[in-house]
């Protein structure tokens, strides 16, 4: 009887370390060659299964797969595609089952955030209902750090490091120019409903009063008059003001400061533009010269300055996902469990997909300063270990060396139309 094959796919916004999780999955599966046959990767996430576009990772050398650990973005392509409920679209689930049966896929590893864990849970439920022996394991990933039941999410530590470093460096620039030129710098970072990334900018502070002077979090309602008063006082005291704003900063009624209009495939509001909006607001009311920047893809693609802790955890969770599957566990997601703050210690835990799916973990109140414009010592104790350590990629001619896969597709066995 042929050995069961595995399906692995990447979903949602990619990160600088999601490929490290892919590396962990593939390398560990290869170590279990008596149990797992081939690992097929979905071309562009779950769409790879629906379209029967399966990448044969066995065509890649051990060296190339190892190179994934230091390569950013999604090596197999990702997607924003939300599976509807079985009642709403049974046809899609039947298609997945047909593809899995055709290629003897019995293991399903889905690497993504909350919506992706929901997808993995739905597929696990359908497998059980249809009587098909399918093991589904979620692999956590999200730069927003908003998955529940895990100390942190792979991808976050590296974004946090990038934002903290960039804030410190930009602040030095503004400080040197503020006497006769720019007095305001606004950095816009990711974070729809949870302010973890913006909060991480606080790690740029070495002593009290250091930049960033203002951090705008989605968890704290934005009040224009209070904000402008804080900016004015900071410029009076320091000569300049550095602001880090989450893209999800919002008013008391829940309206985003910068709603770009439209929705993504998961139904989320498209955000962007909070930095220029704040800068113009300050200019109009206070008259200060400003500069602003949007970290955007740069923050999540910056593998050159990735956190060593983040890389290690991303790989370990991919590895654990396979070990869980081989051990017979199903419909679960491996997690990070913090056992000690200083020195930082962690281990692998697990959570049921049904509990993880579509749940957002926001910043707790004890992590937010009393004035709402910063974070507490407790927050910094939590954040600091996650950006610790450097894991530089190999360099050649001054440039980091990242791998490009063959991504050779398996021959299709089913009709194109379904």
Which residues are designated catalytic?
Answer: 144
Cα gap 408→184, rounded to integer Å? 50
Find the helix or strand (DSSP H, E) in which 219 lies: none
Cα angle: 136, vertex 139, 145; to 5 degrees: 140
Cα gap 113→147, rounded to integer Å? 7
Name 245's bridge partners: 188, 216
Dihedral over Cα of 362, 367, 369, 375: its sign: negative
Cα gap 163→407, rounded to integer Å? 32
Euclidean distance between the first and final Cα of the chain, in Å?
28
C-beta of residue 149 within 8 angstroms of C-beta of residue 162: no
Cβ burial 163-172 (10 Å sphere, 16+ → b, else e): bbbbbbebbe
What's the count of helices (H) and strands (E) in the chain, helices before strands? 13, 15
Dihedral over Cα of 40, 44, 45, 49: its sign: negative
Phi/psi at 10 (nearest 5 deg)? -105, 140
């Amino acid at each position: 009887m042929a050995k069961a094959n595995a399906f692995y796919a990447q979903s949602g916004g990619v990160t600088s370390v999601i490929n490290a999780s892919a590396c962990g999955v593939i390398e560990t599966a290869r170590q279990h060659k008596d149990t797992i046959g081939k690992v097929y990767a979905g071309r562009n996430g779950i769409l790879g299964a629906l379209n029967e576009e399966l990448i044969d990772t066995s065509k890649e050398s051990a060296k190339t797969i190892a190179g994934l650990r230091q390569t950013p973005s999604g090596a197999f392509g990702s997607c924003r595609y939300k599976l509807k409920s079985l009642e709403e679209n049974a046809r899609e689930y039947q298609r997945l089952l047909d593809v899995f049966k055709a290629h003897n896929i019995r293991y399903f590893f889905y690497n993504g955030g909350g919506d992706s864990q929901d997808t993995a849970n739905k597929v696990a439920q359908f497998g059980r209902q249809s009587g098909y022996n399918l093991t589904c394991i979620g692999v956590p990933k999200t730069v927003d750090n908003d998955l529940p039941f895990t100390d942190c999410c792979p991808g976050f530590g590296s974004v946090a490091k990038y934002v903290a470093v960039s804030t410190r460096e930009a602040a030095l620039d503004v400080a040197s120019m503020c006497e006769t030129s720019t007095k305001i710098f606004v950095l816009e970072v990711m974070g729809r409903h949870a302010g973890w990334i913006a909060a991480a900018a606080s790690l740029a502070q070495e002593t009290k009063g250091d930049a960033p002077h203002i951090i705008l979090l989605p968890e704290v309602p934005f009040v224009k008059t209070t904000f402008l008063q804080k900016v004015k006082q900071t410029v009076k005291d320091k000569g300049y003001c550095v602001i880090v704003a989450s893209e999800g900063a919002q008013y008391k009624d829940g309206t985003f400061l910068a709603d770009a209009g439209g929705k993504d495939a998961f139904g989320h509001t498209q955000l962007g533009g909070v930095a220029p909006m704040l800068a113009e607001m300050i200019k109009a009311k206070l008259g200060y010269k400003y500069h602003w920047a949007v970290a955007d893809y740069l923050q999540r693609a910056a593998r050159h300055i990735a956190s060593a802790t983040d890389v290690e955890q991303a790989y370990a969770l991919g590895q654990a996902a396979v070990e869980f599957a081989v051990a017979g566990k199903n419909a679960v997601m491996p997690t990070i469990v913090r056992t000690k703050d200083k020195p930082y210690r962690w281990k692998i835990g697990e959570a049921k997909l049904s509990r993880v799916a579509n749940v957002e973990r926001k910043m707790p109140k004890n992590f937010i300063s009393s004035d709402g414009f910063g974070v507490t010592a407790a927050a910094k104790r939590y954040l600091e270990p996650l950006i610790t350590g450097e894991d530089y990629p190999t360099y050649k001619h001054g440039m980091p060396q990242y791998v490009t896969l063959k991504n050779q597709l398996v021959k299709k066995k089913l009709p194109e139309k379904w």
